[in-house]
Structure 1
Amino acid sequence: MAKVLITGMGAISPLGADLPTSFAQALAGHCAIGAATPDIAKWLPNVLLAQAAADPASKLNGKHASLDRASQFALVAANEALAEANIAAAPADSRRFGVYVGIGLGGAHTLDGLYSRFQSAVQSEGKRNPVVVHPLTVPRMMSNAPAAAISMGYGLHGPSHTYSVACASSAVAIGEAFRAIRDGYLDAAVVVGCEAMLTPGAMMAWNALRVMAKPQAADPSRSCRPFSQDRSGFVLGEGGAAIVLESEARAAARGQSALAELCGYGCSSDAAHLTAPSSAEQINAMQQALDDAGLRAEDIQYLNAHGTATDAGDVTETESIRGVFGSAAGQLAISSTKSMHGHLIGASGILEFALSVMAMNSGSLPPTATLEQADPRCDLDFIPLTARHGCDIRAIMSNSFAFGGSNASLVARRLPA
């Protein structure tokens, strides 16, 4: 089996227009959460959002202007990751180079625009034909549009796969690409997570679930409060992140240095409830990832928690971490970066994994920036309020637990100096 290396990473997130900026802002404890846009606030005045730090279209050329916003995020993140990995378009081994994408709700902006136009045309009383829409509406909003844009843009002829597994989408995409390279089906892949559903229609649907954070009166930007006594839910965000995976042999053949080794992946299904989490199956996913990596619980020094700031979710994840790490749980540093960048749904898993790899390599751990008073049931070291520096981190774990009962855990280790 091939060793799988990470040779490039990129992101455009609420914390920054690229990955280094996003990581720096996370270490600074910056919370990129704010008021909803006027079209959403008109109907949901108390809803908060975590908008991307930059318009993705501004970082692309004009030919990408017509793509859905989610596809634009995917391209921006992929461009950064592929540039860091020194991979140009149309590689000689393009049939051995795959594209793996995770997304929760593909084409939300296109879909919302379609219904808005239809309603407007109907209300025009015959002045506009409501059935006349742009002929590329379906290709823009299909879930595999981001994967198609990347594969065409870079001439990658390997498998192009899209995973829509709610909040675990991009973590699953990473894991499946990892397996394909490790087991010899591919030599390289660019893995992307993207999400752009900050639209009136999508926000009304999420609001109906009663899982959205209530604004904190003193400072609304600090309203997403994972593991806190006063937590009230999560804040939806938008953006994209990407990593390039290569077999050790491919990277060595072209003299490419690596950022880390991706070494473990576990996944499971609760098979119990659409929204309520299961500790037993979260434990299963985490233990699978450790076993896959050939590591023990005490070999992990940092864990990026799913940490959505819901009452049941945070308590269940705390129980699950204790179930896997046992006596080592007390020495494990853990944080939820969703406290700062919000919940990017399909893009959350890969953004959090990329931030974790940067934390491992730098020795600086991002905090749970809003954790002022912990819930007594969440009694682990969740790195409250401020970043921690000078840490010796040799291996990390990142958790993604989704509605629908899908769980995914990833493990990476630091490369020798």
Structure 2
Amino acid sequence: MSEDRRIEDLLRECAPQVLGGLIRRHGQFDLCEDAVQEALLAAATQWPKEGVPDNPRGWLVTVATRRLTDLWRSDDARRRREATVALQEEAHAAGPGDDEGPPDHDDTLMLLFLCCHPSLSPSSQIALTLRAVGGLTTGEIAKAFLVPESTMGQRISRAKKSIKNSGTGFRMPPLAERRKRVGVVLHVLYLIFNEGYTATSGADLLRVDLTDEAIRLTRAVHRLLPDDGEVAGLLALMLLTESRRTARTTPDGALVPLAEQDRSRWNAERIAEGVGLITDSLARTPAGPYQLQAAIAAVHAEAPSAEETDWAQILALYDILARLTPGPMVSLNRAVALAMVDGPRKGLDALDGLAEDDRMTEHHRLEAVRAHLLEMAGDPAAAREGYRKAAKLTTSAPEQRYLESRASRLRT
């Protein structure tokens, strides 16, 4: 790993910890985030030349705190600070909360729950957490939500203002409230993981920093709520999916589809942990969407080869998932399973309804799956056209190259 990449990964890991610590001590989400961003910029400029300090997080806290002090010197900022201090004094009047900790305490998990505050709409909760905890840019979040970047920027700004106006102290919510927020927390972590596992844009297919952070945070939530089946299901899903990482690309970064991967390169330790988690959670709790997706991933993980995959079991699981949480992506994946069980024409018929769904008309995966099923059905000309159309719709360079190569192989 290059020194620049190591520093980039370190800054991404430290950013939510530093932001959480500043908010815990000073309040004012928006000003703290501005200060942390400037500290990160300073580190990205200085550390490659001067070396990484012995205590990177402490360095960032010091620089961000100095910047926060500068911001407080303006008249407008001083008024905001006075209002926040008054709210904090009221919150602490009843006694100390469980938010106090040592200077190097990792406040990422509390930041995660703060971003999922009930005063925010679900979409704002997710967007703010992806920005503050996941470290995604506004543009990346906008792509995940299929909205313009300007719209997403306004949504995030409104979310930060809503949290500020709520006067919420920076502390872990009570157990009952944690359980109410956990659905949004899991959705956020799922999106962060997905962005890392298949980046929506850029030269690289994978962003290991994001998948690792999503798994780390999900483990933390699992420790907090060990009896929650869906938390265990999401962690299992991430581990089983991430177990295939090293086999998903060639040395030059080209994408390798699941059916063509060298399964000896899959991470057996992660597969064992993921299968154990999902087996235990399904035995103890009713099946939820993340558990069902993890069960599907486990069927793939335990198959000795692509040819020996139990597609009938996968189709049955997708049938349950479609009834529990219907959606275009579930329908798309179910169509693939149906094709593997009953033939490609059945799968293609199942795709017809998705063509009318506005959420999928500009999504490359619909065209890619259609092209794949057309190829399986023996229609190379239509498949070639579909692969090319899909390649034009994606902004991921590795996926573009893969789809173009599939089209090229079908030339007559």
Establish whether TM, by shorter chain, passes 0.5: no
Tell me: higher relative CO, structure 1 or 2? Use CA pairs within 8 A at least 6 residues apart. Answer: 1
TM-score by length of 2: 0.30
Q: Which structure: greater strand fraction? A: 1
Larger-Rg structure = 2
